[in-house]
């Protein structure tokens, strides 16, 4: 949905540049159908479109609103019934607001030892990009608005109502930010451009290489875990996942093992509809953890992945499980300053009952 959301947001921006208000009116509800938090982009695009097109834009946006109105009650229901696990923890500081800048650019595709350097670099590139656009800010107003207005809106809503600063929803802002980099840095000439290339290119190369050659720190963190589980698997064992993310990564490689996921602790698990869970094979998602023992499971292989986007609610659930159930064995699969991956073998009978 985030790739589709990014495409639609950029289509909306281009519609305003082309003064094609019908296209803007059609894209706006499609953004909302794709992702509920897309409202921040619709607000940004609508405000910009109304300034540029006035009544012509207003009429087409009104048409789009009518198109979306049938879904509005469902969207409101979804927004009001989500539990705390879906949202990131909100911290009312500048760091929480600006975290999207490294997150949506090069941050997650580098080896851990380059994280700090990359974070500094992306902020430097952003500053230089804005500096390079001095005198051309009006022309690049779409990119500026889409980069900074959506995170500011989510930050404000989080401050006055509920933590909705969901970083994945800011990927379209990251795409607009890259537009600022490209537009601003292209204004530099001579040694300035060469210096920027010399600083940025090594990180881009490192990101591509490590993504495909260093699975321990990238998407595929399965190599050390799969043989470990297979070698020590016993009758009465089951796999247990704290989040849907870890389930999505690991369950594919152990398809013949019984698997469960903790209800409402992860960032996505409780937001899926029952038909979606069934289609993905998460049929036992709502099973309580204490119910495992009653179904004949004496041990559970617990996957614990903690990173910068792990919610406080999820951490509390992990701590509760670790305090309640006996730890038989545990392994640290990966540990960096940014994130950790642990595999813990626990008994399914609470300590008070064992």
> What pLDDT is stored for residue 269 in this prediction?
44
Contact between residue 217 and residue 334 where contact means Cβ atoms under 8 Å apart: yes
Residue 224, CA distances (Å) to 5, 305, 331, 335 in order = 35, 15, 10, 14
Strand-pairing partners, residue 259, are 239
Q: Quick one: pLDDT at residue 149?
A: 94
Parallel, antiparallel, or unpaired for β 340-347 and 299-306?
antiparallel
Q: How far is CA 66 from CA 25, 59, 72, 243, 309, in A?
A: 10, 11, 10, 37, 36
* Residue in the structure block whose two tokens are 């980069």: 147
- Parallel, antiparallel, or unpaired: how do β-strands 237-241 and 299-306 relate? parallel
| Euclidean distance between CA atoms 9 and 86, whole angstroms | 23
The series of mean pLDDT values per 10 residues for the chain, 354 residues long, is: 94 93 96 92 94 92 93 83 60 75 74 77 88 85 90 87 80 92 87 80 77 59 76 92 77 84 57 70 60 85 79 79 90 77 88 63
Q: Is 42 exposed, middle or buried (0-12, 13-18, 19+ CB in 10 A)?
A: buried
Whole-number Å distance between alpha carbons of 239 and 229: 9
Helices (H), the chain: 2-17, 21-34, 39-68, 72-81, 94-98, 100-103, 115-132, 141-160, 171-185, 190-213, 226-232, 244-250, 274-280, 291-294, 312-324
DSSP track, 229-256:
HHHH--TTEEEEESSHHHHHHHGGG-TT
């Amino acid at each position: 949905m985030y790739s589709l959301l990014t495409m639609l947001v950029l289509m909306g921006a281009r519609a305003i540049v082309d003064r094609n208000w019908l296209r803007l009116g059609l894209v706006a509800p499609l953004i909302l159908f794709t992702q509920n938090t897309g409202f921040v982009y619709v607000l940004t695009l609508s405000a910009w479109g109304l300034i540029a097109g006035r009544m012509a834009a207003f009429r087409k946006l009104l048409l789009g609103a009518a198109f979306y109105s049938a879904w509005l009650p469902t969207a409101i229901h979804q927004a009001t019934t989500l539990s705390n696990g879906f949202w990131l923890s909100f911290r009312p500081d500048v760091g929480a607001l600006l975290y999207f800048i490294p997150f949506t650019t090069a941050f997650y595709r580098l080896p851990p030892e380059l994280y700090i350097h990359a974070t500094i670099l992306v902020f430097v590139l952003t500053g230089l990009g804005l500096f390079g656009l001095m005198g051309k800010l009006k022309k690049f107003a779409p990119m500026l608005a889409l980069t900074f207005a959506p995170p500011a809106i989510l930050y404000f809503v989080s401050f006055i109502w509920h933590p909705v600063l969901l970083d994945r929803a800011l990927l379209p802002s990251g795409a607009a930010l890259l537009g600022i980099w490209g537009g601003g840095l292209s204004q530099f000439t001579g040694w300035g451009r060469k210096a920027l290339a010399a600083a940025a290119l090594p990180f881009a190369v490192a990101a591509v290489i490590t993504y495909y050659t260093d699975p321990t720190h990238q998407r595929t963190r399965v190599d050390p875990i799969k043989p470990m589980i297979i070698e020590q698997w016993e009758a009465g064992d089951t796999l247990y996942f704290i989040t849907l993310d870890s389930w999505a990564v690991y369950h594919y490689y152990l398809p013949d093992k019984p698997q469960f996921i903790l209800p409402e602790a992860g960032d996505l698990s409780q937001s899926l509809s029952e038909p979606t869970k069934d289609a993905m094979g998460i049929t036992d998602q709502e099973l309580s953890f204490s119910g495992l023992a009653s179904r004949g499971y004496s041990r559970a292989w617990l996957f614990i992945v903690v990173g910068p986007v792990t919610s406080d609610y999820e951490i509390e659930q992990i701590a509760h499980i670790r305090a309640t159930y006996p730890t038989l064995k545990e392994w640290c699969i990966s540990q960096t300053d940014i994130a950790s991956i642990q595999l813990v073998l626990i008994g399914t009978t609470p300590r008070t009952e064992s």
